[in-house]
Amino acid sequence: MSSILPRVRFAPSPTGYLHVGGARTALFNYLFARHEGGDFLLRIEDTDRERSSDAMTRQILAALDWLGLEVDEPPVHQADGVERHRAAVETLLAEGAAYRSFLDEEALAAAREQARTEGVPVRQRRIGAPDGAETRRRVESGEPYAVFFAVPDGGSTRWEDAVHGSTGVEHASLDDFVILRSDGTPVYNLAVVADDIEMGITHVIRGDDHLSNTPKQALIYRALGAELPTFCHVPMILGPDGKRLSKRHGAASVEAFREEGILPEALVNFLALLGWSPGDDREVMTMDELIEAFSLDRILKKASVFDAEKLEWLNSRHLDAMPVDRLVPLVLEHLPEPERTAAASEPERLAAVTDLVRQRTRTVDAMAEQARPFFTPLDAFGFEEAATAKHWKDTELAAERLRAVRELLAVADRFDADSLEADLRGLAERLGIGAGKLFQPLRVGLVGTDHSPGIFDVILLLGRDRAVARLDRALAELAVRRDPADV
């Protein structure tokens, strides 16, 4: 490893939300920089003014911040470097590495078709780039032109890729390519190289969908007299169907996973293992552990498959390890109104409920869903139809059992888990039924659904008064269902 500390960059385009592929690229850059003691930089590639937006730039910055990927220098905006890009083009023209082409689209298409017919690369300079005084005259007259990079006719361009090893292409397989459009705007490959040189980037870590750009960029680097960075092309992320991950596979943006209740620690952990291995059997890892273990030589060549089940499993592990006081505000954020206001007014009970429901869930969103019934005001409390259809099918029998529980809870001398369990199991025995036949209708009466933590924990966290009030409401509901005309 060189004694020069690495400088890496993540360079998103602000034309949409930060998707998981981009987030994984940012993470690999960040982990490498932190492991090596280098710098992690951000460049917003916003030269496409029609599709770029400040709102998307803010979203990208927010997503990186949420993931914990701290940038070491203020973000650079590519659009601010247009004059530098044009200066690089002038340097290439002066060195004879580029030329002006006055061909219009029709003539250019014809030249390309002829080259394809002849089986040779497209060299516009053969017909579209007059020399000397004629070129100067046409430029000074204001005639539009594009600037093309002149790919050498023979030989090849090669580079050492940190993932793929020695890689390269024959020049005979490359067309001359545009580096400055006829409207004076630089194209991607030119701008990227000029910016990376200016920023002192030593390693370019990016998805292998950029691999086809690398020979063109390597040619530009060398023509500008700059040393090539170390290229590192990481494998693509695929959906379960083996196709490139996209919205059709479900959540694909960092924002979407945040809204679904995935922790940033879990998403970072999961993305790190998509295309990289720590070299042992570890799967649950903190950011510090990832930084310590990360190296480019452990990046895999094979594409990785996005496994949503594994992400949720990792999320559950990070939920289990997180202190309750950090989870409480996350659950509160995911609670709807009026439950959010009610929960915020009882912080101690919210903490106890949060600690209980995380044992049965894999996401913060699911935690909030299970916590919600504990804080629903009585006048807004309702019953899930699927649960009542299953457990209150016989309304008379359900009412009889809930009334017995209501009477027991109202007068119970001891209100702790062991006593409640003994009392309720004893009640089921006196009624001549299995405990489940009592507990499931009771669960529906207390939380409105048949999915909840253990019934004794539910009663304790609701408290005597709330539990009795919920059962009164359940009995009133059963009376309506039993004989609507009498209510």
Same domain, 276 and 352: no
Q: Kindly indicate the confidence band of residue 128, based on its pLDDT and cuts at 50, 70 and 90.
A: low
pLDDT at 48 over 90: no
Q: Is 88 found in the same domain as 113? A: yes
Question: Residue 4: what pLDDT?
Answer: 83
The predicted-structure confidence for 273-311, as pLDDT tens digits, reads as follows: 999 999 999 999 999 999 999 999 999 999 999 999 999
Domain count, the chain: 4
Specify the pTM.
Answer: 0.89
pLDDT at residue 49 tops 80: no
Residue 140 above 70 pLDDT? yes
Mind listing the pLDDT tens digit for each residue in 416-469? 999 999 999 999 999 999 999 999 999 999 999 999 999 999 999 999 999 999
Report d(CA 454, CA 382) in Å as an integer: 20
pLDDT at 354: 97
pLDDT tens figures, 465-481: 999 999 999 999 999 98
Is the domain of 351 the same as that of 413? no
Mean pLDDT (the chain) is 92
Same-domain status, 103 and 193: yes
Cα distances from 404 to residues 220, 393, 407, 472, in angstroms, run: 83, 18, 5, 11
In whole angstroms, give the CA distance from residue 389 to residue 172: 73
Alpha-carbon distance 74 to 438, whole Å? Answer: 62
CB of 375 within 8 A of CB of 339? yes
Whether residue 387 has pLDDT greater than 50: yes
* pLDDT at site 136: 85
190 and 103 both lie in a single domain: yes
Round to whole Å and give the CA distance between 9 and 204: 7
Residues 4, 40 share a domain: yes
CA 414 – CA 141 distance, rounded (Å): 97
Q: What confidence tens digit (pLDDT) does each residue in 202-243 have? A: 999 999 999 999 999 999 999 999 999 999 999 999 988 888
Q: What is the CATH number of the domain that holds 482?
A: 1.10.10.350
Q: Summarize pLDDT for 23-40 with one digit per residue, the tens.
A: 999 999 999 999 999 999
- Which residue range is the domain that position 137 belongs to? 82-234
CATH number for the domain that contains residue 57: 3.40.50.620
- Residue 404: pLDDT over 60: yes
- Residues 86, 230, single domain; the answer is yes
CA 126 from centroid of its chain's CA atoms: 47
Domain co-membership, 281 together with 395: no
∠ at Cα 35 (236, 43), nearest 5°?
Answer: 60
247 is known as an active-site residue: yes
List beta partners, residue 156: 170
Query: Does the structure show a pLDDT above 50 at 487?
Result: no
Query: Please, which pLDDT band fits residue 116 given cuts at 50, 70 and 90?
Result: confident
Residue 81 reports pLDDT greater than 90 = yes
Of the three residues 360, 376, 392, the one that is the final residue of a domain is: 376
The span from the CA of 206 to the CA of 163, in Å, is: 11
- Choice among 247, 301, 390, 393 that is catalytic: 247
Residue finishing a domain among 285, 306, 321: 321
